[in-house]
Structure 1
Amino acid sequence: MTPADRSTKAEVRNRPGSPLRLRPKASASLILIDRSRPSPHVLVGRRGSGHAFMPDLYVFPGGRRDNRDHALPFSQDLNPSVVDLLLRRCPPSMGASGARALALAALRELHEETGLRLGPTLAPDVPYCPDLSSLRFVARAVTPPGAVRRFDNRFFATFVDEASIDLNNLRESDELSDFRWLDLAALTSVPLPEIVAVIARDLKISLESDPSLPFGNDVYAYTNRNGQFLRSRL
């Protein structure tokens, strides 16, 4: 590498807003599990080719947490064990309300991207107040440095039947299309980001160990350090 090349690389590294300096944004995803089949299936949708982040790959519904998520209504709160897990490796200022905002972000994104809601819709004129009580916290993953977008993402999971989800409301959106119910035993049927495939495989192992997916199950964090993929228990 020439001195000029080193200088250019340093400029890119120190340039405000460059991918190498992006700070991960808080985000959340929801894994819907259909256990009515011989083996568990999870819902994924394809991101459009125009997306800068993970184009044309199949992902779980989800997205960035917004400030408004802290004030969204809900009918029932998270299980206390889930709150405790969410607060691990987090600053004390996050608190239970911050943990709840992540779950509400996942449910808001689910509705925006798929049309699906957790809990029954009482009437057209009754505001949607999602039920958070069936959500499990199953994984946390931070996008590696150098990506065009970086997220500190929490993955929640719930069973379709337990959460009273009406799958007849499933519809495509600008964010996700071509929905598939992916068999956890056949993950190669669609192109997945590596982290989604890893989390899906770990979810399969957890369900094999205990099909009820207990609320206090071990949660793993997935990060990268010095170019190496790391998996650790929260």
Structure 2
Amino acid sequence: MRPNLVPKPRTGPAPIRDAATIIVLRHADTNPMVLMGQRGAKAAFMPGKFVFPGGAVDADDARVPLTALSSIDEERLKSESRMSPVSLAAAAIRELWEETGQMLGTVGAWPHPPENWRRFADTGHWPNGRALQFFFRAVTPEGRPRRFDARFFLASADDLVTDPDDFFGAEDELAHLQWVPLAAARQFNLPFITQVVLAELIVHLKQDGPPAAVPFFRNDDEAHLVSRLEGKSPL
């Protein structure tokens, strides 16, 4: 007699969470470097990979006094998205602060900051949206244990209000925090999408002003096509 077999519950595809990632660029005109760290070997998402700081958007990110983004970035962030630009930009700045101890801020007092922003607010700063430029967007491919709709922001190390070489305030999510020269980045263990973003950054550094359009790596079909979020330049 065969034993009764209890069928395993079927699990659907992993839900896609809105996320923000930040590329902090240093010495852009001489020896370009980007701030990266290594994820833990047992991490559920991209274990052992060197990545930019970033993570999922929190509900409270919409309630911060963020200084204004540019109008073209506002429009591009709204394109094909129900997530507010403030939430996305704030999440990028918060993740940078939590994972590296580096801060993009402007002086300002918060009377009642959300809990996950209290340590930031205690420094006497608001998150500085003006320091950000919307640069790239990508959705994690199907079949991964976690999936994100990640917006990548570009910022200059010149806009940090912290010492760029001091990572004492970082939490323990990323190890080996360091400024990686673009010329040497391919020697690191990088996710595929990070390699794509770095290639876009190298091209961008040869141009002036904001990119004409933001690449959107959709990962929603077999071709994995890249579309462009253009928006309209302000008059």
Q: TM-score range by the shorter chain?
A: 0.7 to 0.9
CA drift of 1:187 comes to 2.4
In 1, distance between residues paired with 2:85 and 2:28?
Answer: 30
In 2, distance between residues paired with 1:125 and 1:163?
Answer: 17
In 2, distance between residues paired with 1:160 and 1:202?
Answer: 19
What is the correspondence of 1:214-225 to structure 2 with a 5 Å cutoff? 214=210, 217-225=212-220
5+ long unaligned stretches in structure 2:
1-6, 110-120, 230-235
CA drift of 1:188 comes to 1.4
CA drift of 1:181 comes to 1.6
1:138 to 113, 135, 138: 135
1:203 to 186, 201, 204: 201
2:106–2:128 Cα contact (<8 Å) kept: no
State the TM-score, normalizing by the size of structure 2.
0.81
CA drift of 1:23 comes to 2.1
> 2:23 matched to which residue of 1?
31
Q: Residues 36, 188 of structure 1: CA spacing in aligned structure 2 closer, same or farther, 3 A cutoff?
A: closer
> 1:192 matched to which residue of 2?
190
Q: Does 1:107 align with 2:109?
A: no
- What is the percentage of aligned positions where both structures have the same residue? 37
**Structure 1 segments of 4+ aligned residues over 4 angstroms from their partners:** 120-126
Deviations 1:114-159 (A, max 9, x none): 1111136679955431111121000000000100100000000111
1:53–1:148 Cα contact (<8 Å) kept: yes
CA drift of 1:168 comes to 4.2
1:30–1:106 Cα contact (<8 Å) kept: yes
RMSD over aligned CA atoms reads 2.4
State the TM-score, normalizing by the size of structure 1.
0.81
CA drift of 1:69 comes to 0.5
In 1, distance between residues paired with 2:148 and 2:199?
Answer: 21
Q: Does 1:43 align with 2:35?
A: yes
1:85 to 44, 51, 76: 76
> 2:58 matched to which residue of 1?
66
In 2, distance between residues paired with 1:162 and 1:132?
Answer: 11
1:79–1:134 Cα contact (<8 Å) kept: no
In 1, distance between residues paired with 2:53 and 2:107?
Answer: 20
In 1, distance between residues paired with 2:58 and 2:65?
Answer: 14
> 2:148 matched to which residue of 1?
151
- How many positions carry a matched residue from both structures? 211
